[in-house]
Amino acid sequence: MSKTSTIPFCKTGYFSKTMCDYLAQDNSITDFHGNFPDLKGFEKQIDLKRHSELVSESHREILVTSLKSQYKNIKSFSKTKRNIQSLSEENTFTITTGHQLNLFTGPLYFLYKIISTINLTEQLKQEFPDDNFVPIYWMATEDHDFEEIQYFNFKDKKITWNRTASGGVGRLKPYGLEDVFNEFSKLLNLSDNSKKLRLLFRKAYIENDNLTDATRYLANELFGEYGLVILDGDDADLKRQFLPFVEKELFENISFDEVSKTIKSLEKNYKIQVNPREINLFYLTDDLRERIIFEDNLFKINNTSINFSKEELLYELKLHPERFSPNVIMRPLYQEVILPNLCYIGGGGELAYWLELKDYFEKVEVPFPVLLLRNSALLISEKQSKKMEKLNITPEELFLKQQELINKKVTEKSDVIIDFSEQRNQIDAHFKKMEKIASQTDKSFVGAVQAQKQKQLNGLNNLEKRLLKAERRVHKDLVDRIVLLQDELFPKKSLQERNTNFSEFYLEYGDELIPKLKEALQPLSGAFTIIEL
């Protein structure tokens, strides 16, 4: 079993006020979310979803049929097959996470999202044994931001899929991925784990027809044994279930009105993540994904010559529902309409835009899901853990800004007293007396007294900085070791999980990597996890 320790998310310095207030259940944010992600909240959510008219037998059968069709060309695990079939039963609910189709999973947090989802379903099954819970990975196949997904980092090298792209990324053919495979292969050694990585990449990206199939294969290989169900929303039958909501969006602008009102309230205390458009839908074909706009009494496809009258658009909608693609505002609603879903698991940025949607969900009478901040983790080796012990660095101190951490450790190591807090207090007390005397004699002197006080404090600050700088030179070896360790664990001065690809750790730990992560990550812990592998 891996050694783990945790610190509160909000003590890491990497989470927004929005997320910190959400986790603290602050009164200023409670109007913008539904049931909270604890066992009591899930009990309420199960009851809410169980009685929703959307979770009908026919809805479930369409979902199961679509999933079986999506899995027809892939060898699925028995637990996944059982989970898909169980979705036809009225006591089965889903826990969902979504993610872009990043090349070779992209950064590490792709793994953490899915493991959070799998582990939560297992925990809920223990707590509510009469119900079933299925983990869903929603592939963002309709996204068109190719620049965000066309690379992954491996050992300080950016491995990029160089090609032009348009339309939904899921439909992209694997042109050029042979070059990516060759570049990646050159960076690997001859170990068994390297051979497995080469095989995994080749079978996913070279032997599949498009990026959707490649990502499904990869996610299934990594997580299929745990029963993960991988869903592609770019599906005509699933979108046909969503048609009533698409019609309202096209002709009534409900999401724009409701989300705009929510934003006015939310922005008083929090940063707004996304802003709605009057129509929050794209028109999607194999090589096109462009906004639908209403102009001059016509529905126009932005940056094209395509346009529709209202009647023509209704006909197109009924004939080709797959061509209507929800944007960031509408996609969450689409998910909740077609799935018997209880909870969405995402990162801080994702949950921040979900908080803009609650009133919209209520307006269209769709139950709003529980929102859970995904697990975050820092992976450290046994060697790095020993370095931390020698440097006397605690897990919490690891997250300090580098200069702050260096100053703290140099101060602890130094034989000289560098902290001038006592002297500052003495100056403050001394000048308070002088301010009192000045105010009793001539109030015009108060400003001069305060200026003199600030001058002395500035001088003290400069002396402290010079002394620290001198001590850093004295303890150069300590400083260099701190910098080396923190740079290893926080590449580009950011969280490891936002930069490093899983393959770097797979090289070392192989097939044990995901079980180790699964064992260590607790989805309802409400804390950042440090894992010694």
Residue 296, CB-side half-sphere exposure with 13 Å CA sphere: 4
Give CA angle at 414 (413, 418), nearest 5°. 125
For residue 297, count CB atoms less than 10 angstroms from its CB and return exposed for 0-12, middle for 13-18, buried for 19 or more. Answer: exposed
pLDDT tens, residue by residue, 14-60: 999 999 999 999 999 999 999 999 999 999 999 999 999 888 999 99
Only one residue has tokens 């936002």, namely 498
Cβ neighbours, 10 Å, residue 7? 18
pLDDT of residue 412: 85
Q: Can you give the pLDDT at residue 420?
A: 65
For residue 21, give Cα distances in angstroms to 9, 11, 28: 11, 13, 8
Phi–psi pair at 253, nearest 5 degrees: 55, 40
Give dist(CA 272, CA 257) in Å, integer. 16
pLDDT of residue 432: 73
pLDDT at 341: 98
Cβ neighbours, 10 Å, residue 152: 24
DSSP classification of residue 406: H
pLDDT value for 467: 62
Question: CA 118 to CA 137: how far, in whole Å?
Answer: 10
Tokens of 258: 């409701």
Q: DSSP 3-state assignment of 451?
A: helix
Report yes or no on whether pTM surpasses 0.75. Answer: yes
**In the prediction, which pLDDT does 2 show?**
81
Which of 198, 149, 207, 200 lies closest to 174, judged by CA? 207
- The whole-angstrom separation of Cα 124 and Cα 134 is 10
Q: What is the spatial distance between Cα 301 and Cα 304, in angstroms, rounded to a whole number?
A: 6
Residue from 67, 116, 114, 113 nearest 87 by CA: 67
- Condensed to tens digits (0 to 9), the pLDDT of residues 294-327 reads 999 999 999 999 999 999 999 999 999 999 999 9
338, amino acid identity? I
Report CA Rg, the chain: 27
SS3 170: helix
Domain ranges of the chain: 3-238+329-376+515-532, 243-254+267-326, 382-494
Tell me, what's the pLDDT at 434?
72
How long, in residues, is the chain? 533
* DSSP per position, 76-142: --HHHHHHHHHTTSTTEEEEEEEE---GGG-BTHHHHHHHHHHHHHHHHHHH-TTSEEEEEEEE-TT
Residues in the chain with pLDDT < 50? none
